[in-house]
A = this chain, B = another copy of it.
Amino acid sequence: MPTLLRNVGEFPLIDRLVRRLRGVGPRLPLGPGDDAAILPALPAGRALFTTDVLVEGVHFRRDTVPPRALGAKALEVNLSDLAAMGGRPLAFFLGLSFPADYPLAEFDAFAAGLRASARRAGVALAGGDTTASLGPVVISVGVLGKLRSRRCIRRDGARPGDLIAVTGPLGAAATGLRLLAEGWRWGGRGVEGPGTARVTRRQARAALRAHLFPRARLDVGPVAAERGWCRAGLDLSDGLASDLVHLCERSGVGARIERGRVPVAACTRFWAERWGLDPWKLAAGGGEDFELLLALPETALERWRRRGLPHPPRVIGQVVERRQGLREVGEDGRSRPWKRGGFQHFA
């Protein structure tokens, strides 16, 4: 019989988790173990906080998402929100609910994934709450970050004339999700699934990796914010179809997107062809790519490109006046109203 969480108990489990994360990220005035954590000093307008919840059966299935991926992803989706605002991570809080019959080995793998992501981002565990669950695994993460300057990438700053850009190809995460539903799995040493050709496995691997091990754009969001390159932006978590609407609504503007310029991940093109699907559906309708969607003036784009940073923005359209609405220009040159889509809870 494998050891289960009920064989360990709450307080030893918390100790175990805290030990794994000891020494990761900056030293805090007071970390886990008391009623509250004491946070480092942050000047006015420079501290950011964001929180995201992952629910088993809604955001992930326990039989398809390895616990190591889950631990990393729970943190990365929050780091992505921070990156989108231009913040650098400092500390995080964990609210964990696991069933008592959850295997300890999987909990340890979850903690290892969390640790890997925390180390990469240089973020310290500051506190949390660990509870039993009678049903699903529920992971709630909150991250505290800081802005180095007062410049911040908000959703409400886009202005007509700005270019709209994304930091990378879209659709891979949605493709990975679909592959999981088709029986593909992320194994210890590569992917496993219904297909043996080398190219098939390579394209499956790329898509599964995007879905299971997303990386927050911490390498570009903060720099872009500090240099003042962006007028507005957010991370593509719900999907372009939906997130573009958020950006435009908050900024009080319209947009014109050129469908042919939206970069689609190679694995998405590969699998969409096999599935007889329009790759656009996966690229715009699927979420969780965690690329940044940005509005920026042309001069900023040129500066960004000259700097040679990773993930240079790829222009997909332009911000227009609100009364011009949100429109998409097809590869046939015809313009149609933007189809709002993307994931929405309860819908």
Contact = CB atoms under 8 A, between A and B. Distances in A.
A194 interface: no
A346 B13 contact: yes
A215 B155 CA distance: 37
Q: How large is the interface on A (under 10, 10 to 19, 20 to 34, 35 or more residues)?
A: 35 or more
Given A51-B95, A129-B52, A134 B58 contact: yes
Contacts of A100: 345-346
A189 interface: no
A299 interface: no
Contacts of A48: 36-39
Contacts of A126: 49
B39 A42 contact: yes
A267 interface: no
A181 interface: no
B29 A127 contact: no
B38 A41 contact: no
Contact of A51 (B43, B128, B346): B128
Contacts of A122: none
Given A51-B95, A82-B35, A347-B10, A133 B58 contact: yes
Contacts of A93: 49, 51, 142
A55 B134 contact: yes
A268 to B, nearest CB: 24
B347 A35 contact: no
A202 B235 CA distance: 54
A44 B42 CA distance: 7
Nearest to A37: B49
Interface stretch (A1-9, A258-266, A313-321, A326-334): A1-9
A92 to B, nearest CB: 10
Give the 5 A-B residue pairs with the shortest CB-CB distance, closest first. A135-B135, A41-B44, A36-B50, A57-B134, A140-B140
A39 B35 CA distance: 21
